[in-house]
Amino acid sequence: MHKENAPAGKRQPLIYIALIVLAVLLAAQWWTSHRELSSVRSEVARRMQSGDAINSETKVIVKSAQETITELQAKVNVLESKQIEAQSQQLALEQLYQDLFKKREDWALAEIEQVLSTASQQLQLAGNVQGALIALQNADVRLSRSDTPQFVTVRRAIGHDIQRLKALPSLDLTGIALRLDSVIGQIDTMPLLADEQPALPASEPKNRRPPSKVKAAKATTAEEQAANDWWPVAKAQWESWTNEMWSEIQQLIRVRSVETSDALLLSPTQAYYARENLKLRLLNARLALLSRNEAAFRSDMIASQDSIAKYFDTRAKQTQTAQAMLKQVQSSNLAIEMPTLAESLNAVRNYKAKP
Q: What is the full per-residue pLDDT of the chain (355 aa) written as tens digits?
A: 444 455 556 667 778 888 888 888 888 888 888 888 888 888 888 888 887 788 888 888 888 888 888 888 888 888 888 888 888 888 888 777 666 655 676 777 777 888 888 887 777 776 677 777 888 888 888 877 776 666 788 888 888 888 887 777 666 677 888 888 989 999 888 888 776 554 444 444 444 444 444 444 444 454 555 445 667 777 778 888 887 777 666 555 555 555 555 555 567 788 888 889 999 999 998 888 877 777 888 899 899 998 888 888 888 898 889 989 888 888 876 656 667 777 887 887 777 777 6
User: What's the pLDDT score for residue 284?
Assistant: 92
Backbone dihedral region for residue 348 (phi beyond 0: left; psi -120 to 50: alpha; all else: beta): alpha
User: What's the pLDDT score for residue 143?
Assistant: 79
Per domain, the residue ranges of the chain are 104-168+338-353, 171-196+265-335, 200-220+232-253
Residue among 154, 77, 79, 64 at smallest CA distance from 112: 154
User: What's the pLDDT score for residue 346?
Assistant: 82
User: What's the pLDDT score for residue 202?
Assistant: 42
What is the 3-state composition of the chain as percent helix, strand, coil, each rounded to the nearest 5?
80, 0, 20
User: What's the pLDDT score for residue 309?
Assistant: 86
User: What's the pLDDT score for residue 283?
Assistant: 92
H-type alpha helices, 145-200: 152-166, 173-186
User: What's the pLDDT score for residue 263?
Assistant: 56
pTM of the model: 0.43
Q: What is 104-168+338-353's CATH number?
A: 1.20.120
SS3 per-residue string spanning 67-129: HHHHHHHHHHHHHHHHHHHHHHHHHHHHHHHHHHHHCHHHHHHHHHHHHHHHHHHHHHHHCCH
User: What's the pLDDT score for residue 205?
Assistant: 43
Q: Decide if 144 contacts 324 (C-beta within 8 A).
A: no
N residues, the chain: 355
